[in-house]
Amino acid sequence: MSHCPFCKKKIAMSKAFCSRSCKENYFQLIAIQIPKLFMKRIHTFCTEEEKEVEIEKFALRHKWRIDLLQNKIEEESIRLGYKTAPAEND
């Protein structure tokens, strides 16, 4: 058994993804590129309300799904040091 790269469900070895939507989401998530200047602007100069508006405008401009863009922004925020990683419960 292997795992779906997007949702991490167990799938048969002969399949690459568990569903068509996982495949589409995975490749769209890879395609999302967020400039460092955009990250700096939304974390330094914007309030939470302004940040949501900027993210929505950015997603519409590039025709990306907002939820995938928000996930990518969370990952990049942690990677760039704007936020700390959430503690994992063991």
Per-residue confidence (pLDDT) for residue 87, from 0 to 100: 66
61-83: average pLDDT: 92
Q: How far is CA 47 from CA 28, 52, 54, 58, in A?
A: 27, 9, 10, 16
Nearest-CA neighbor of 29 among 62, 2, 53?
62
- Does the pLDDT of residue 90 top 80, yes or no? no
Read off the pLDDT of each residue in 52-69 and give the average, rounded to a whole number: 94
In the predicted structure, residue 85 carries a pLDDT above the cut 90: no
Asked if residue 1 has pLDDT above 90, the reply is no
Q: Tell whether the model's pLDDT for residue 26 goes beyond 60.
A: yes
Contacts (Cβ under 8 Å, ≥6 apart) of 69: 32, 34, 55, 58, 59
Q: What's the gap between Cα 6 and its chain centre? A: 11
Average pLDDT over residues 58-69: 94
